[in-house]
Chains A and B, each alone.
Chain A
Amino acid sequence: MQRKSLIIAIVSIIIVVVIIAAAYLALVAFKPKYQIELWFNSDGHYGDTEDELATVLKNSIEACGKVQVTLHSDIWANYRQLRNQGRLPFFLLGWYPDYGDTDDYISPFMGSSGSPSFGSFYSNATVDQWIDQEQTSTDPAVRLARFTDLQNKLADDVPYIPLFSGYSETAYASGVTGVELHPISFKWFIVDKPNSAVLNASTTDDITSLDPALAYDYFSIELVNQIFDTLLVYEPVQARLMPGLATTVPTIANGLVSADGRNYTYNLRPGLTFSDGSDLNASVVKRSIDRAIRLNDPGGAAFLLYDTGKLGREATNGNNTRVGAITVAANDLDITFHLSAPVAFFNDLIGFSVAAPVPWDYNQNAAQPDAVGSVRGSGPYRLTGYTGNQQFILSRNPTYHTPALYASFGIPSIPVEDTVTINLRQSSTALKNDLSVSPKLADVVYRSISPEDLADLQSQATTLGITVEVAQSPFIRYLVFNVSPTSTAAIRDLRVRQAIAYSVDRQAIDRDVFNGNVEPLYSLVPPGFSFSAPHYQPVFQTEYGDHNCAAANNILSTLGFSMFVFRDLVARDH
């Protein structure tokens, strides 16, 4: 009898517990929430921290209580295809600028022609007009006004949510000087290892091509910039253009840019040669530009010249520039570019590696082979060693045109070191090890050190006898909403996008993912760079702030979230 009572008591308790648990689940755990999918890249296209970044974003959005985020990932080859097909509703992307002008952070994102390639499909006729005005005006006041309009519109419409600007990092043996984390182009030719003619370096990067017409990834461009000079080059520390192969930076004031901003003239230094001794004159510059445009390599940056730079590419002219787009003076030293429309930042495009002159005998129909003796430029260094995917050796170019180019910046002669050996490694840990072993295997390691290895190196800097430097980078990260008519209802709803903009926690990203190394970003235009008029407006800070759950939930409440559930089924694997 007693046993029966005991069993009844236990069963009763179990039933009560089950009822309470069910009630809890019904009221709390299964509470209707907005269901959104956040996509991120899974194969390291943006480094090894992407899953952590996505998780922190998910947590910060979900912490506000009314949105549930499901994470999805794919390898880059698939990810970008899904993006281009408009099949990613809400996802993470990154951007490294092609040229040092604010326009490169605005027009590709917000212009109707550029936004599909970012997967946002944002389109607004007024915005297109503003972009046209800022691109073609040489009046700083007009450009500032348009960039302000554009950034305000960005915050109003929220096709993107800026998250943070990245950082670049380097570590080097104490005593080495001249390691400058330049925002556009790292310069090995200004690094100095006292009492040594040889500098050993390590990187996790690798090249795709050393042909300026094809090079369009960070490390290829970095090496091209050591081996090839452009008409204009960047100062050693700041991202400000200065004369390179040309004698003067063209401006309207000095008469080398026409008043309508459509004609740019560059005067070459006399007596220029390539490292092989062949002549470098205005005809060679024209031939090089035409070659890059004619080859129009899929992975290259020729579009910056013929499309962005308004030089054209005409099938009737053998896929070269438009007839008459480039004229060469009789002295073969002056070259003029005639643009089909004004481009306020044309000098920046001419300073980009794709515009670097190459010798007359370079292959005109295909890529020049990446081999010693084949790669020949006019820069401070020559390529004298290339052991496939293991090592590059750069040696002093004895015919470099102006060794005193940076004398006014305290660098009497470039290149500083006779030889730079760059060893290619496969992981951030390998870079760390290069500085941790005794004797050190590298004097300088540059790109890419993971946040964990960076923190490790920083904590051991004194013991290891190294200097660790972290600087802001022009690289930005942001979230993209696909706002096309075919996108999901929730994402197309401005209020949902605004609620998410309120929810994201940039401080948590900085703290939890990057150990405090990144800079929270409140506009697509990053602050703090010496680009020509960066025009940074922190519109997302003033309009949304960080992790403002009250405001986020206020908006979502107006949508009556408790009455229904948005469920977006777009994933390939569903």
Chain B
Amino acid sequence: MARGRSLLAYAATRGLLAIPMLLILLTAVFFILRVLPGDPVLALWGGREPPPEIVEAARHELGLDKPPWLQYLDYMSRVFRGDLGRSIGEFYRGKPVWGEISSRLPATVELSVGSMLVASSVGIVTGVVSGARRDTRLDVVLRLYGTVIWVIPIFWLGVLFQIVFAIWLGWLPPHGRWQGTDFPHPVTGMYTIDSLLERNPAHFWTALRHLVLPCLTLGLVLSGFFTKTVRANMLRTITADYAEAAHARGVPGRKIVTRHAFRNALVPVVTVLGLQFAILFAGAVITEKTFSIDGIGLLLLESVVSKDMTMIQGIVVVYATIIVGVSLVIDILGAVVDPRIRL
């Protein structure tokens, strides 16, 4: 019998594997951006055509007159020094890329975490109930929910929520992260956390109210995936030998579901959580647009439009690092929960 690796060794191996993954991604993004049509230098001048000598001077200043391989080496060496460069786009020209990203990141993190909470809680509950009540009316309804909610366009659901909960009922703000001028004192940039840090319940309530609709929108759409995955796993675990054995021993059905089937059904769900974060970030772009949340997704949209190569690269680096980091943590968690993974 092969000896299982220690958790530390497993974590170290996964961590080391993440490095070439990031390198490949950075390289791919760097070269893809350079072969796409459209001149980022000309884009600086908006609708006008500047004299050629001015264009060349700008190209030189931005280092875009160097051979691509030299630009690549410059870029990689700067990335490893933690310098993502300065924006070359129309909107953020000359501003540090990390400065812009870091000012927007808290909004996206807040939205993503909130949405993931909604997605996982709604998805897991519906998945478990659906799996435990297989082939009942409730199961059919929940399966239908899982399928329909997963294919609903985020912007459509968002607008629907805005109309119902903000305009008709007036319960929640329709968009934005804050209303008024007394923003929480910035520490993390996440208004919910910052208002808790300053122990201001009114501020926390304001921040939370602004988060509800966007998190519900994105979270519910993603919950469809969890519903279907958890249900499928529940069906597998609820008919597994250990569940049958428990049933034979007279363990109540509810207990079998909660103590045995549910726990084991969650293991594969945890492993795909990392992938869900990637989908979450993609969905966050649309959610931020719909709810006027000034996050990193909107920054990416603006950067693509203005052909801001350094900003796009910076955002991809940050996205990739977050997703790789989350995947790493989830892999390690999976290994903790199920030691067989380390084998």
Contacts and interface: CB of A to CB of B under 8 A. Distances in A.
Interface of A: 43-44, 74-78, 80-81, 84, 93, 116-117, 206, 208, 216-217, 296, 298-299, 366-367, 385, 387-391, 393, 421, 423-427, 429-430, 433-434, 436-438, 441, 572
Interface stretch (B35-43, B123-131, B268-276, B320-328): B35-43
Contacts of A438: 170
Nearest to B55: A298
A425 B46 contact: no
A446 to B, nearest CB: 16
B292 interface: yes
B167 A421 contact: no
B54 A117 contact: no
Given A84-B42, A441-B179, A77 B305 contact: yes
B47 A425 contact: no
A72 to B, nearest CB: 13
A572 B175 CA distance: 40
A425 B54 contact: no
A84 B40 CA distance: 14
Contact of B46 (A217, A434, A437, A441): A217
Nearest to A425: B292
A234 B176 CA distance: 34
B175 A77 contact: no
Contact of B38 (A77, A208, A393, A425): A77
Nearest to B100: A388
- Residue of B39, B44, B289, B292 contacting most chain A CB atoms (<10 Å): B292
Interface of B: 37-40, 42-50, 54, 58, 90-91, 93-94, 103-104, 159, 162, 166-167, 170, 173-179, 181, 183, 288-294, 298, 304-307
Nearest to A95: B47
Given A298-B54, A299-B93, A433-B162, A216 B46 contact: yes
A427 B290 CA distance: 7
Closest 10 pairs between A and B when the two form their complex, measured CB to CB? A117-B49, A77-B307, A78-B38, A77-B38, A426-B292, A433-B174, A77-B43, A298-B44, A389-B294, A425-B292
A80 B47 contact: yes
Nearest to B40: A77
B103 A433 contact: no
Given A76-B305, A81-B37, A390 B94 contact: no
Given A81-B39, A437-B170, 10 more contacts: A77-B306, A117-B49, A299-B45, A367-B94, A427-B292, A430-B174, A433-B166, A433-B167, A436-B167, A572-B37
Contact of A43 (B90, B93, B162, B305): B305
Contacts of B38: 75, 77-78, 81
A433 B290 CA distance: 12
A367 B92 CA distance: 12
A441 B173 contact: yes
Contacts of B91: 206, 208
Contact of B90 (A299, A421, A437): A299
Nearest to B179: A441
A116 B304 CA distance: 26
B294 A424 contact: yes
Contacts of A425: 175-176, 292
Given A217-B46, A425-B175, A296 B54 contact: yes
24 contacts: A74-B37, A75-B38, A75-B305, A76-B43, A76-B306, A206-B91, A216-B46, A298-B50, A298-B54, A298-B93, A299-B44, A299-B46, A387-B183, A388-B104, A389-B294, A390-B294, A393-B181, A426-B289, A426-B291, A426-B298, A430-B174, A433-B162, A433-B166, A572-B37
Contacts of B167: 433, 436-437
A339 B45 CA distance: 26
- Residue of B175, B290, B291, B306 contacting most chain A CB atoms (<10 Å): B175
A43 B162 CA distance: 25
B293 to A, nearest CB: 8
A177 B292 CA distance: 27
Nearest to A367: B94
A44 B305 CA distance: 9
Given A117-B49, A390-B178, A427 B305 contact: no
A238 B42 CA distance: 35
Contacts of A572: 37
Contacts of A437: 166-167, 170, 173-174
A449 to B, nearest CB: 14
B49 A426 contact: no
Nearest to B99: A388
A298 B58 contact: yes
Nearest to B294: A389
Contacts of A387: 183
Nearest to A307: B51
A425 B293 CA distance: 8
Given A77-B40, A299-B44, A299-B90, A430 B292 contact: yes
Contacts of B181: 385, 391, 393, 421
Contacts of A389: 103-104, 294
A8 B288 CA distance: 65
B300 to A, nearest CB: 13
A276 B46 CA distance: 33
A429 B159 contact: yes
Contacts of B90: 208, 299
A356 to B, nearest CB: 20
Contact of B289 (A78, A81, A217, A427): A427
Contacts of B177: 390
Contacts of A441: 173-174, 179
A220 to B, nearest CB: 10
A217 B45 CA distance: 11
Contacts of B104: 388-389
